[in-house]
Amino acid sequence: MALLELKNINKSYKVNENQIFQALKEINVSFEKGELVSIIGESGSGKSTMMNLIGGLDSKFEGELLVEGKNIGSFSEKQLDAYRKDKIGFVFQNCNLIPHLSILENVTIALTLSNVGKEERIERAKHALAQVGLEKHMNKKPNQLSGGQRQRVAIARALINEPEIILADEPTGALDSETTEQVLNIIKEIAGRGKLVIMVTHSEKVAAYSSRVIQILDGQIIKDQRNTEVEVVSEVSHESIQENMEKATNSSSAKKAEFTSETLSLETQTASTVKQNLSFFSAIKLAANNMKQKLKRNILVALGVSIGIMSVVMMLALGNGIKAYFSNMIESFMNPLVVEVSMPQGEVDPNDPMASMQAVIGSKPTFKEENLKELAALDGVVRVEEGFQYIAIAGTNSVSYGDKKSELMGIVSATSVLTESNIAEGKLPEEGEILVNKSSFEDLGEDIIGKTVTLNAVIEGKNVTGEFVVSGVYTAGENNTMADVNNSIYMHYEDMAKLLEEQGATLAPNMAYLVTEDESVASQLKETIVDMGYGGSTQEVMGDQMMTMLDILTLVLAGIAGISLVVSSIMILVVLYISVVERTKEIGLLRAIGARSKDVKRIFVSEAFLIGICSGTLGITIAYVISIFVNKVSVEIFDVQLMNITIPYVVAGVIISTVVSMIAGLFPANKAAQLDPVDSLRTE
């Protein structure tokens, strides 16, 4: 059985919608091991087309193309990839070395794609390079070699997987006569080792080196001639190879490799190596290497993406910080044993924070006897204190001392909610006394504690007035600047009721305070009263509304920042797309030496992955550095750290940026994977 047999092969190209061009017509030819075949013919006669068919780069043809009896026309994509990788070695006219890889890496790229270990890769590359006399140049880049040397590297690359068929499409077309001879000698040697070498050439002189010359004209074989002067090895045995090699070594230049029995044993050894696919790690390494070539461009892209990630993270961290600040403010300095209860707000949409907030301010619904009884009967409630609090209309409420006056925003009943921790100076108020907050304290003068002040207020629509002794100064803790700047006083419910009574009216409580003996009971009660339909602590309700608003605000800001992420992902897409276009030829080459389209895709997705990881890390780092400055300023001004970058943000930031990049990279990666190998190789 012939190693390779073409039976009735027809190949036509579609030129346009209604025109096809037949490049190969009824080709019938077969090839044996050890043959060195030259294909000659005018340009455009169909030589490359035939090579591409034999090489499994193009499987769209009619007829049968049998390799060891198997028709590759019926191969699946996967089988074709494996066929190219294992059975075929390609050598192109213009070498097609990947410029940014070293000679060693260029030669081993097919092994990398097969996931062969590093040591074995280097070992096999050394031998392949030795065969072309270039083992000393392993670490150079292609542009550091001469044209002939480059072509020899390309031959070494074709030999690395020990293929049975070497296809060389005008391998000497770009070489001068001296280097042509070097390259031809090597090619002859390879055929001498029992390989089938098919070489396309223009030159009759080159053809003279071969054991068989096939001439093609307009897609048809017009001559098939065996050259008896050239020795052909048909039976391959150890001895004959050895002999042949010695002959080759003696007859060629000093640069020529030496073939030893060691080489041969290595061949048999590597032939049995399990072939696998491109590993994730190798893909990343290839991608990293690619990216190094366009370092500035990639840094700029990463910077762009990192700005997107940075803004999203900063907005979220800022929201987080502000929320922490307010919740700290609300919860601090409230007696944990007391549960504040308010009457239900009536027809207020709980999803409308503004409406709920307004309902909290001003006059609130009051408790009825049965409400208070019901609350007092709850488990764990020691007693129920009545309370009243309201936010005043500007200008209607004030406390004054001599010519000093403090306009009040809030009047709040002093209940067990207040503890010693709420006293900045002085003491808690008794009946007939009031507690003033910091800003009112400043309005009234520093020596006001113990002095009698006059209160003028409008409670439940009645003008009331009375004299009270200032017992002390209220504080809600260091973080609660709001309670310190909004003028307010705290006085006993009984005193408020008395003031109203003087005007012939009765005060009903709008707040109830459930005093307990246990914090866990208290927190349980907070849920119970909400379940019963009551409102919770005014401060807590306000706090919840504020939290909701802050959440919305944070999300809106993060969303706006997210737009920059979208923009930057488009940037990745464009850059990778350009990269695919730039590297079309390289992709074609990778496919020719056996890379599956999946592998090509993986390399590009890996690039996107790397951009994503780098930009995520960069973005978080920038955000973190900015947060240090923001916090420094905010601590000075508000006494609080406003930007709170937590570990989950760091992790999420990197993950999001990676995922976004990879999604953006999918389109160019698919585009690269779908490139036709033949077309790609033809691009300039």
Helices (H), 193-237: 204-207
Which listed residue (33, 38, 49, 364) binds ligand ADP by CB under 6 A? 49
Q: How far is the CB of 148 from Mg ion (least distance, A)?
A: 20
Binding footprint of ligand ADP, residue count (CB under 6 A):
12
Among 16, 43, 143, 268, binds ligand ADP (CB under 6 A): 43
Instruction: Evaluate whether 387 touches 511 at the Cβ level (below 8 Å).
Output: yes
Our finding on whether 47 is near ligand ADP (CB under 6 A) is: yes
For position 629 contacting ligand ADP by CB under 6 A, the verdict is no
Query: Does residue 605 touch ligand ADP according to CB under 6 A?
Result: no
| Candidate list 4, 41, 45, 48; residue touching Mg ion; CB under 5 A | 48
With binding defined as CB under 6 A, does residue 591 bind ligand ADP?
Answer: no
Determine the interface stretch with Mg ion among 46-54, 79-87, 135-143, 525-533 (rule: CB under 5 A). 46-54
Q: Which residues have CB under 8 Å from 194's CB, separation 6+?
A: 33, 34, 233, 236, 241
Q: How far apart are CB 293 and Mg ion at their closest, in Å?
A: 29
97: number of Cβ within 10 Å: 25
CB of 40 to ligand ADP, least distance (A): 10
280 near ligand ADP (CB under 6 A): no
- Specify the stretch interacting with ligand ADP by CB under 6 A; choose among 37-45, 254-262, 492-500, 617-625: 37-45
Q: 48, 415, 538, 597: which one contacts ligand ADP (CB under 6 A)?
A: 48
210 part of the interface to Mg ion, by CB under 5 A:
no
20 exposure class (CB count in 10 Å sphere: 0-12, 13-18, 19+): exposed
In the bound complex, what is the minimum distance in angstroms from residue 251's beta carbon to Mg ion?
30
Smallest separation, CB 44 to Mg ion (Å): 8
Q: Does 217 bind ligand ADP (CB under 6 A)?
A: no
Q: Is residue 60 at the binding interface for ligand ADP, with CB under 6 A as the rule?
A: no
- Decide if residue 256 touches ligand ADP (CB under 6 A): no
537 touches ligand ADP (CB under 6 A): no
- For ligand ADP, the closer of residues 45 and 335 by Cβ is 45
Closest contact distance (angstroms) between CB of 145 and ligand ADP is 26
3-state secondary structure of 682: helix
Q: SS3 sequence, 9-75? A: EEEEEEEECCEEEEEEEEEEEEECCCCEEEEECCCCCCHHHHHHHHCCCCCCCEEEEEECCEEHHHC
Q: DSSP letter at 394? A: T
Helix (H, G, I), strand (E, B) or coil at 234: coil
Token duo for residue 73 = 């026309």
**3-22 residues near ligand ADP, rule: CB under 6 A:** 13, 15, 21
Q: How far is the CB of 47 from Mg ion (least distance, A)?
A: 5
Closest contact distance (angstroms) between CB of 299 and ligand ADP is 38
Give which of Mg ion, ligand ADP, none residue 46 binds (C-beta under 5 to 8 Å, depending on kind): ligand ADP
Instruction: Verify binding: residue 45, ligand ADP, rule CB under 6 A.
Output: yes
Mapped to the 3 state alphabet, what secondary structure does 137-163 carry? Answer: HCCCCHHHCCHHHHHHHHHHHHHCCCC
- β-bridge mates for residue 410, sequence order: 391, 488
Phi/psi-derived region of residue 362, left when phi > 0, alpha when psi is between -120 and 50, beta in every other case: left
Residue 535 interacts with which of Mg ion, ligand ADP, none, CB < 5 to 8 Å by class: none
Helical segments of 160-237, H only? 177-192, 204-207
Residue with tokens 């609130």: 364
Q: How far apart are CA 49 and CA 58, in angstroms?
A: 8
- Nearest approach, Cβ of residue 43 and ligand ADP (Å): 4
Of the candidates 653, 656, 657, 624, the one whose C-alpha atom is nearest the C-alpha of residue 641 is 624
Q: Which two tokens stand for residue 37?
A: 């075949």
Residue 602 binds which entry of ligand ADP, Mg ion, none, with Cβ cut-offs from 5 to 8 Å by kind? none
In terms of Cβ atoms closer than 10 Å to its own Cβ (0-12, 13-18, 19+), residue 647 is exposed
Nearer CB in complex with ligand ADP: 47/124: 47
657 binds, among Mg ion, ligand ADP, none (CB under 5 to 8 A by kind): none
Nearest approach in angstroms of CB 43 to Mg ion is 7
Q: Which is nearer to ligand ADP, 60 or 226 (CB)?
A: 60
Binder of residue 143, out of ligand ADP, Mg ion, none (CB less than 5 to 8 A by kind): none
End-to-end CA distance of the chain: 39
Strand segments, DSSP code E, in 178-329 are 196-201, 212-217, 220-226
Calpha distance 3→607 (Å, rounded): 40
Closest residue to Mg ion, Cβ-based?
48
The whole-angstrom separation of Cα 263 and Cα 617 is 47
Tokens 């464009």 belong to residue: 574
- 90 binding ligand ADP? (CB under 6 A): no
Residue/partner pairs of 248-256 with CB below 8 Å, 24 or more apart: 248/185, 248/188, 248/189, 248/192, 251/185, 252/182, 252/185, 252/186, 252/189, 253/133, 253/182, 253/185, 255/133, 255/182, 256/133, 256/185, 256/186
DSSP secondary structure letter of residue 277: P
Near ligand ADP by CB under 6 A: residue from 8, 30, 44, 136 = 44
Q: How many residues does the chain have?
A: 684
Residue 13 binding target from ligand ADP, Mg ion, none, CB below 5 to 8 Å by type: ligand ADP
Smallest gap, in angstroms, from Cβ of residue 216 to ligand ADP? 7
For ligand ADP, which stretch binds (CB under 6 A), given 42-50, 498-506, 541-549, 662-670?
A: 42-50
Name which of 48 and 252 has its Cβ closer to ligand ADP: 48
- Binding partner of residue 23 among Mg ion, ligand ADP, none, CB cut-off 5 to 8 Å per kind: ligand ADP
Binding-site ranges for ligand ADP (CB under 6 A):
13, 15, 21, 23, 41, 43-49
Binding-site ranges for Mg ion (CB under 5 A):
48
